Copies of this chain bind each other. A is one copy, B any other.
Amino acid sequence: MSDRPLTAPSVERVAFQGEPGAFSEAAARRLLGDTIETIPCASFDGMFDAVESGIAHACLAPVENSLAGSVHANYDLMMLHNFHVIGEVELRIRHCLIAMPGVNLGDIKTVMSHPVALAQCRRFLQLRSQIKKVVAEDTAGSVREILSRGLRDHAAIAGRHAAKVYGAVVLAEGIEDHPENFTRFLLLSPIAYVSEDADKTSVVFSLTNQPGSLFRALAALALRDIDLIKIESRPIEGQVWEYRFYIDFLGSMAETRVQNALNHLRELSPDVRVLGCYKRAERPQF
């Protein structure tokens, strides 16, 4: 974060993983509004490559789901590409049953979606056991396929945003078993930037595993009354007994106590890296 520019990088084109209408695209619109251009990518690697090649200014990476946990693969890509977190958004994952306009729930004989979405709507589907389940590569892609092929007895499970993108209708909303299903996304840019209103910082560092090593590292925050809001450990592959820690805390790099805490942490870990400092997301209304 040493060459921190004082002006915000342009974020007009944002890459996301999935098809148009995906939850990730809805999250990008929630964070950045309707004027941005969103660029669908087939994979997480492809999404990072789109930013490296300049096709996109930034990418929006899912990093944590309240049911499924953290997406380690995206943290790995963030480190590999040396990208910076410049924003955060949370989205409620609310599954909808989506079909062609004019179709009713009683017409549906087949439901298509990604297996994770089908599994998350198990109870809804169990009560309608006459409906055949078909797995598909993508949630939003299932909506696209139904519309493009004119399948009047099919429905897809996807987010409301997908219905809007493809001109489909929502037959049922909130059909997931566990309504407390949120995903947290980070906006990642090759250009470091800390906004005026930034109030949250994400850091990754490693420690040799000795009893008390994490306790000592957390002292760097606790002694300065800095509020830790997430911590996760992860074994470093190929290095037995070394661990990498991901922490998020409240505070900005602009604050002296945060700078002091990071300097203190650097005395204890050989590789403290600030992933970014950004405005904390509001959790969507439940």
Q: A69-B68, A73-B67, A180-B238 are in contact. Are A215 and B211 (CB under 8 A)?
A: no
Q: A69-B68, A70-B69, A72-B67 are in contact. Are A222 and B212 (CB under 8 A)?
A: yes
- Closest chain B residue, CB of each to CB of A133: B137
Instruction: Report the bound CA distance from A65 to B245 in whole Å.
Output: 16
Is chain A's binding surface mostly helix, strand, loop or mixed? Answer: mixed
Report A131-188 residues with CB < 8 Å from chain B CB. Answer: 135-137, 178, 180
Report A109-132 residues with CB < 8 Å from chain B CB. Answer: 114-115, 118-119, 122
Size of chain A's interface in residues, with CB distance under 8 A?
A: 50
Q: Nearest Cβ distance between residue A40 and chain B, in whole angstroms? A: 15
Q: Given A66-B235, A67-B72, A67-B73, 5 other A-B contacts at CB below 8 A?
A: A64-B69, A65-B72, A69-B69, A118-B137, A180-B237
* Chain A residues engaging chain B, CB cutoff 8 angstroms: 43, 45, 64-73, 76, 114-115, 118-119, 122, 135-137, 178, 180, 209-212, 214-216, 218-219, 221-222, 225-235, 237-238, 243, 245, 286
Q: Which 8 A-B pairs have the closest CB atoms?
A: A215-B222, A69-B70, A212-B222, A69-B69, A180-B237, A211-B225, A215-B218, A211-B227
